[in-house]
Amino acid sequence: MNNDFEVLKKLIQNRRSVFPADYIAKEIEEDLIEQILESANYAPTHKLTQPWRFTVLTGKAKSKLGVALGEIYKATVPAEKFLQKKFDSFAQKTDQAACILAINIKFSGKLPDWEEIAATACAVQNMALTAEALSIGAYWSSPPLISGLGEFLGLKEDEKCYGLFYMGYHNNEAGTANRTPMSEKVTWMRD
């Protein structure tokens, strides 16, 4: 096997979701954030619509996101189901992360929505593998609350937020992937 394959396989297999509680207090250099974003731009895209859009949140903007998430939670959860711990967790996570990328999609109207979502998911995986290669932990967070982030993020009518990509340096050991065998998910047709 050539070296490219070995390197790629290692990055794919070692990438794990790393959550804010495991991040250490260390900034991610802006040029590395740019490199991670650059990788997203090479995702495959039907009709070259390139639907992926990202909002980069660092510094005080992260705290403002935490406040916005808390406000959306408070406004949407029935009063009897409100949990202070859950409310507090938004600001905690946004503060623990060194950088958060809002994963947004701009729908072109030229394709079914699922194709724009699929292309954006490919872009996010490119970012996750690049982060892994840079020893930066990351994970895609998709709480239902993100559908209320349009105003905070200044999204237009044809744009929607599909998640938050939390990032931070960490000291975790490479974790094992929790997967059932691939053979259970593949059907070969030879004749």
Ligand X SMILES: Cc1cc2nc3c(=O)[nH]c(=O)nc-3n(C[C@H](O)[C@H](O)[C@H](O)COP(=O)(O)O)c2cc1C
Shortest distance (Å) from residue 26 CB to ligand X: 21
Binding site for ligand X (CB under 6 A): 16-17, 139-143, 163, 177
* Beta-ladder partners of 102: 55, 164
- The CB-of-86 to ligand X minimum distance in angstroms stands at 13
> Residue 24 has which token pair?
């250490």
The secondary structure element, H or E, covering residue 34 is helix 30-40
Nearer to ligand X among residue 152 and residue 162 (C-beta): 162
CA–CA distance, 142 with 162 (Å, rounded to integer): 7
Cα separations in angstroms, 41 against 6, 31, 109, 179: 24, 15, 20, 28
Token pair for 148: 């209320």
Residue 51: other Cβ atoms inside 10 A: 24
List the structure tokens of 37: 């974003």
The nearest distance, CB 31 to ligand X, in angstroms, is 25
Give me the least distance between CB of 125 and ligand X, in Å please. Answer: 8
From 93, 86, 92, select the one nearest 19 (Cα to Cα): 93
Q: Which is nearer to ligand X, 59 or 112 (CB)?
A: 112
Residue placing its CB nearer to ligand X in the complex, 180 or 187: 180
**Is the Cβ of residue 98 or residue 163 nearer to ligand X in the bound state?**
163
Q: Give the nearer residue to ligand X in terms of CB position, either 2 or 180.
A: 180
Residue 168's H or E segment, with its range, is strand 159-169
CB 24 to ligand X: min, Å:
18
